[in-house]
A and B are shown apart, each in its own frame.
Chain A
């Protein structure tokens, strides 16, 4: 049912026309229209802000991209030397840094998160389930700067001691932290996807004599495959965009890593550590905004893909 439309006026109302009674353009009607307009503005605010982010980040990076940027160097050179006398802006090492940390994080975080989602959605019951959900929420609540601090002051000595290496800040450290940070979003979204599978599917399989595990493996997981994929994508996006924790735990050295103990530098961390020292409007400044454009575009594509993947199931 839809709400009444008080504008339902007759085409040409006459004094005797009963439909005229429906025309109620009183104060409440005007307030209603005003509220509707205001709420609509709020409604499209998210679109305005996302466009605003794109416009402002692009605007500041524009001059650099179309002025001094050497695209080939940007994508293939590892020489990020924005402050040298002869500055070069090769972002390859930064991209590899981000990719290696995110990749390492996903390596353990994806299976753990999906496993946890399965356990919480399908096996755990009652109080256990509530407690686990709250713990996952707490994991999500820890601020990234605290994660970074944990990486520096707890994990760093731990890694040095355990593996007998000179420095514990690197791919391993940042990857472990990032994995834990990305886990809650993957667990939550995967759990939602599993719960969205209709109970009738499960009941049908159980009626055929399947155990709970068989139901999960043969019915629930296939039916929620797209949702699980979306969960992983959003986790990747989260890891990819993380800034403070990676800045503090990765060692922040421009380097193509060859072992998990190597220090790397991420795209996000580069912006965070260098923006404060740049001249507004200068080349270095523009280069950092260019990294921002890259980050924006990649996360946008990841989120768009996740959205399309999820819509895929709804259509079916």
Chain B
């Protein structure tokens, strides 16, 4: 056999060093996540109670709970999903099933990347200029949700397109050969085979939408509301904006425990949705028959 030359040994050593260094870099990057979550749990957990979750803030937000903010976030997310999922799925269907490889398709892809890359505060300016003022929705759940919908549209499009493209082309060909139209093929073959992947993307969007603050600050979120919103034309409290408000703007001293509690609930919502999405994806990969 070959004996290891000094050169081989040096290469091997370099290899181990490189592996260790890059491994360390990865660890440095991911450790803060664990530290942050750990700190939030330790400091925020004492604040969590039924009363905290299901009552409104009291005494200038220095006591009481977060119920109106929780309900408000649910409103915002649901309305945003109603707007963005149909449009996002249609966009993904176009890109995956219809789009020829031309300039328009490239422009669409560039627009999607840009939509995801435009700063959230610019989305807020757009939402204010377009929905609140131009379309005269006022500061409302509708205006805030539509702003969120535009902002998170790329999440749905990208996830849906990926799961559509994961359906083997042969499935479509088999269907076309039976004389089915494109749309029949999409409805009966492509969508049923990719619906779970699309759902994964939608859950991910819920996670993104519920944490956003900047886009809703001027379009519909309000610092305090004693009652719950009754329609999409009402303003609302929201978890993310509530955290911003009590951490920076509140006039009275908010107990530290309360602020950590809000942060913990917010991050729990976001990460749980994310975890469901990841678990769903892993589960689906196991189910795949092709």
A residues with CB within 8 A of B: 1, 3-4, 6, 24, 28-29, 31-32, 35-36, 38-47, 49-50, 52-53, 56-57, 59-60, 111-113, 115-116, 118-120, 123-124, 132, 134-139, 141-146, 148-150, 152-154, 180, 183, 187, 210-214, 216-217, 234, 237-238, 240-244, 248, 268, 271-272, 275-276, 280, 288-289, 292, 295-296, 299-300, 302-304, 306-307
Contacts and interface: CB of A to CB of B under 8 A. Distances in A.
A295 B22 contact: no
A228 B228 CA distance: 48
B115 A138 contact: no
B207 interface: yes
B117 A295 contact: no
Given A40-B94, A143-B212, A304-B110, A123 B23 contact: yes
Contacts of A53: 118, 122-123, 126, 150
B244 A248 contact: yes
Contacts of B217: 272, 275-276
Contacts of B58: none
A46 B160 CA distance: 14
A47 B108 contact: yes
A54 B207 CA distance: 27
Contacts of B37: 138
**Residues of A contacting B: mostly:** helix
16 contacts: A32-B183, A42-B87, A43-B93, A43-B94, A44-B104, A49-B115, A56-B134, A118-B22, A139-B32, A141-B208, A142-B267, A144-B120, A146-B36, A153-B259, A241-B122, A307-B109
B284 interface: no
Interface of B: 11-12, 14-15, 18-19, 21-23, 25-26, 28-30, 32-34, 36-37, 39-40, 86-91, 93-95, 97-99, 104, 107-115, 117-126, 128-130, 133-134, 150, 153-154, 157, 169, 172-173, 176, 179-186, 207-208, 210-214, 217-218, 240-241, 243-244, 247-248, 256, 259-260, 263, 266-267, 270-271, 274, 278
A274 B183 CA distance: 49
Nearest to A184: B29
B125 A289 contact: yes
A44 B32 contact: no
Given A1-B173, A50-B115, A132-B30, A213 B125 contact: no
A6 to B, nearest CB: 6
Contacts, number: 295
A44 B92 CA distance: 10
Given A42-B89, A123-B19, A144 B211 contact: yes
A46 B84 CA distance: 11
Nearest to A268: B121
A295 B121 contact: yes
Contact of A39 (B36, B93, B181, B211): B93
A103 B37 CA distance: 26
A292 B125 contact: yes
A234 B117 contact: yes
A300 B107 CA distance: 13
Nearest to A46: B111
Contacts of A144: 120, 211-214
A31 B181 contact: yes
A244 B117 contact: no
